[in-house]
Chain A
Amino acid sequence: MAEMLEVSGITKRFGGLVAVNNVSFSVREKEILSVIGPNGAGKSTLFKLISSFLRPTTGEVRLKGERISGLAPHIAARRGVVRTFQETTIFKNMSVRDNVIIAHHLRSKASLFGFFLGTGTAKADEAAFGQSADEILALLGLSSLAHETARNLPHGHLRALGIAIGLATNPSILLLDEPFAGMNHDETMRMVEMVRRLRERGLTILLVEHDMPAVMKISDRLVVLNFGQKIAEGTPSEIQANEKVIEAYLGSEDEAIGL
């Protein structure tokens, strides 16, 4: 399978702290790759580096050969790398549907001035975005809540909306930061199904998650971080048998890895 994303020798220092230390790995097309590791291991920082929210101290990230790190978030998004947030991040005073419609921004063919004048292109854009938003909402089981103000949604649906927003940008690779956090078992299983369906639609998915049973179930491969360093990489069964990984999780979360 073709390489989609290539992270090479990436390092991020915050003052004296090395949050991500010389990490390299690659993600294949249509793969679900999870990044796991104890709290503070540098997972969110790694995601921010990949999506250009942070500038790497050294190293770089390439998408289909083109450098996408050290730019700006909106440029990385334009090239097809979109991140959802660890915190539930939505436009809370807009309706659910408007949240998804606005996230189609990248697909607009009309200019800002075109939208102001209400040109034909702008109207066509609006119609297309509305239709696509409805499809995405249906896919994520949010159709019945389309006209609800986003801040009134229950937690599980907020996560789904976060993902809907990510999908609307039509990314080639979607970065999900702890999408199952705060969900009960049923909600998590529904979400796992959801993420699988996204992959079937051709999306490549990079995931940070603490829910080990879910991660082991969903991932093709895993990358394990500890204190900013990559300590292992492999399939779920390889990782579960890896000495270093067991050691990193020992004492604190040894059950969490699903042994």
Chain B
Amino acid sequence: MTPNRNTRISAVVAFLTIVFVAVPVAISASGRFDLYYTLTSVALLSIASTGVWLTFYIGRINIGQGAYALMGGYVSAILVMNHGWSFWLTLPAAGLFCAAASVLIGLPILRLRGVYFAMVTLVLTEVARLLALALPITNGAKGIVSIPLPGALSVFGITLIPDFATLQNSRLAFYLLAVTLMVVCFAIMYRLVNSRIGKLCQSLQQNEELASSIGVNIAYLRVIAYAVSSFFGGVSGAIFAAISQSIYPSSFTVTDSVNFMLNCFLGGLGYVFGPMLGTLVLYFGWDLLFQTGQFQLLIYSGLMIVLMLVLPNGLLSLAETTRKKG
């Protein structure tokens, strides 16, 4: 059963308070400023992951989000460096570029299902890396470096966001930027999934033939979902490029694509907020296992397998079962 309206509102308020108030306060109290970078990464990775989640939601296993993150990073970097665009403009531009590219790529490949689609998307990440190596505009293996920090964002002479280079604490600024976008992105996803569009996506996932026989334009809906997914990938990649002030062909690889997918699995494919939780747990889990040295990957993979066997519907399914019992 869905929780009632009041519980939902208090959950949202609590979450926003933690993210925008409690975390910054705790970090400045403890002096662990490095955590800003970690949490910013989690927020950005969860944006890319929720895109992957949406393709899962229409019944496609997407292991190609790394390609769009890389593409978004390059689009933003090139527009800033070669064309003098403001970072703030390149952000939607990167998203839209990726969405447009994904429409062209998606039209043929979204006809494929199951492992076939998964394999093609896996190859896509590698193709993106090779293209970044080969194209003149991406500057090959040397990548694009010394990208300036985001400048000020002013609308009608009112400065909404100050120039990051003038800030004492650009880490906090990036953190706030990333979590704001994360909140917006998950709000969009929540609305999407809880409107009729979500039901239509589910109908694709459960039976495409039947969906088309009741008049759903399945090709169109698939492409739309994939474009939204890639938009999120592009935006996330663009901010990563701005934070590290650089982008290389190896900035996003097949490993990242696989991780985006695992984040969704871990959090739960049936839950909008699954990718957020999955990313958080996976990112910190991997770091915690760092102390185990050479066994890090072994333990990590083992735990993942066990988790998928024990909790096939993801971590959030735990909350559901306890609620049912309680």
Q: Does A13 touch B at the CB level, under 8 Å?
A: no
How far is B200's CA from A189's CA once the two chains are assembled, in angstroms? Answer: 34
Partner of B212, one of A74, A94, A118, A165: A74
How far is B209's CA from A72's CA once the two chains are assembled, in angstroms? Answer: 11
Can you list 27 contacts pairing A with B, beta carbon distance less than 8 Å? A51-B213, A53-B213, A73-B212, A74-B213, A74-B215, A77-B214, A82-B213, A85-B210, A89-B210, A90-B210, A91-B202, A91-B210, A92-B207, A93-B202, A93-B206, A94-B206, A101-B199, A102-B200, A105-B216, A108-B196, A112-B200, A112-B224, A115-B196, A116-B191, A116-B197, A118-B191, A126-B196
User: Is A116's CB under 8 angstroms from B195's CB?
Assistant: yes
Q: Which residues of B contact A93 (CB under 8 A)?
A: 202, 206
Q: Does B146 touch A at the CB level, under 8 Å?
A: no
Q: Which residues of A contact B213 (CB under 8 A)?
A: 51, 53, 73-74, 77, 82-85
User: Is B224's CB under 8 angstroms from A105's CB?
Assistant: no
Q: Which residues of A contact B216 (CB under 8 A)?
A: 74, 105
Q: Does B48 touch A at the CB level, under 8 Å?
A: no
Contact digits for A21-41, partner B, Cβ 8 Å, 1 yes 0 no: 000000000000000000000
Contact digits for B262-290, partner A, Cβ 8 Å, 1 yes 0 no: 00000000000000000000000000000
**If the complex has contacts A74-B217, A105-B216, A106-B214, are A92 and B206 also in contact, measured as CB distance less than 8 A?**
yes
Q: Does A172 touch B at the CB level, under 8 Å?
A: no
Q: Does A239 touch B at the CB level, under 8 Å?
A: no
How far is B200's CA from A125's CA once the two chains are assembled, in angstroms? Answer: 15
Q: Which residues of B contact A157 (CB under 8 A)?
A: none
Distance between A54 CB and nearest chain B CB, rounded to angstroms: 12
Contact digits for A62-96, partner B, Cβ 8 Å, 1 yes 0 no: 00000000001110011000111100011111100
B-facing residues in A94-142 (Cβ within 8 Å): 94, 98, 101-103, 105-106, 108, 112, 115-116, 118, 122, 125-126
Chain A contributes a number of interface residues (CB within 8 A of B) equal to 35
Q: Which residues of B contact A90 (CB under 8 A)?
A: 207, 210
User: Is B206's CB under 8 angstroms from A91's CB?
Assistant: yes
- Contacts A98-B199, A116-B195 known; list 4 others, CB within 8 Å: A72-B212, A85-B213, A92-B206, A116-B197
Most buried by B among A74, A103, A166: A74
**If the complex has contacts A74-B216, A94-B202, A105-B216, are A165 and B210 also in contact, measured as CB distance less than 8 A?**
yes
Partner of A89, one of B199, B200, B202, B207: B207
How far is B196's CA from A122's CA once the two chains are assembled, in angstroms? Answer: 9
**If the complex has contacts A89-B207, A93-B206, A112-B224, are A105 and B212 also in contact, measured as CB distance less than 8 A?**
no
User: Is A103's CB under 8 angstroms from B214's CB?
Assistant: yes
